[in-house]
Amino acid sequence: MQLTFLGTSAGRPTKTRNVTSIAFCLPEPYCGFWLFDTGEGTQHRLLHGGLKLNKLERIFITHLHGDHLYGLPGLLSSRTYFEGAGKLQIYGPAGLREYLNVIFQHSGVHLGYELEVIEVTAGVVAADDRFVVEAAELEHRLPCFGYRITERPQQGQLQLARLAELGVRPGPLYGKLKRGESITLEDGRTVSSADVVGPQLPGRIVTILGDTTPCDNAIRLAKGADLLVHEATFAGGMEEKAAAYGHSTIRQAAEIAAAAGVKRLVVTHFSSRFDDEAVAELVADARTIFPHTDAAYDYAEFQVKRST
């Protein structure tokens, strides 16, 4: 499970940072990915990042400000030209469906795949046999949501050394044991799944927040997460300015991470006033509050490790 940051700048792009978009790459054996926000130029970033639009399964939009949204129409149009592009689901605030309908109507776009737009409210917004996604509204100048992605518990790993001792050869029998079934060997011995499969693995939790001032829902969505993505538009000491624009300082992001008890914080959405050297100084400041803080940059990849 991995997050790839396709854009990390707030408001407008810079020479080194594009506007906001994050790819959530699904763990093996799945080879698809989801997008969180699609700022202008997101499809160009995907080309450089090696992610193909026919593998895109879901898009989650936090809010309708342009630096999080303006790349969406072009991306959806281009996806038509990718062989094997199946149904795509888009989640976001009220108004998203109308936004797309107007653009498609006046530009004559015809998509070659099924598109479903789900306008979200607080609560569980998506669920399948792999993940549950919960949304809650944050505090910003427009309706804005954060998303909590919870991986369902996973089956334990096969204990290969024990299988070798028992004389179980790799092949279909491994699959049966992995599924919880018992098997009978050629010599009549029975091997149960419980004998050779380790304990169930807990699911991982990733929280991706949209633009927000510090609020209770940010803490609730992030509670115990293995990785939290939080905006850090402004530096510590600029709290008044951050509040005026519906944003957070990097110190406030660190305080949210500490209050929520997350394992790791990745900060993004930096004001264009901060170059890479300044961002490094911001992170050093945040680490005095929450040591496990890292700054995202365009094309940065962060693995989501399983809690032990």
- Give catalytic residues, as residue numbers: 67
Q: Where are the beta strands (DSSP E) in the chain?
A: 2-7, 21-25, 33-36, 56-60, 88-92, 115-119, 123-127, 131-137, 145-151, 183-184, 190-191, 205-208, 227-231, 265-268, 293-295, 301-303
**Following CA atoms 295, 300, 306, 308 in sequence, which dihedral angle do they give, to the nearest 10 degrees?**
-50
Sheet arrangement for strand 301-303: 115-119, 88-92, 56-60, 33-36, 21-25, 2-7, 301-303
**84 alpha-carbon distance from chain centroid:** 23
Judged by DSSP in three states, 147 sits in: strand
Q: Please state, as a whole number, how many other Cβ atoms lie within 10 Å of the Cβ of residue 108.
A: 6
Separation of first and last alpha carbons in the chain: 16
CA distances in angstroms from 153 to 120, 199, 203, listed in the order given: 25, 11, 4
Helix runs in 142-272, H state only: 160-166, 172-178, 193-196, 216-222, 239-244, 250-260
CA distances in angstroms from 94 to 55, 90, 132, 143, 209, listed in the order given: 26, 12, 21, 8, 17
Extract the tokens encoding 167: 């004389």
Instruction: With beta carbons less than 8 A apart as the criterion, state whether 125 and 95 touch.
Output: no
Residue the block writes with tokens 């080194």 = 16
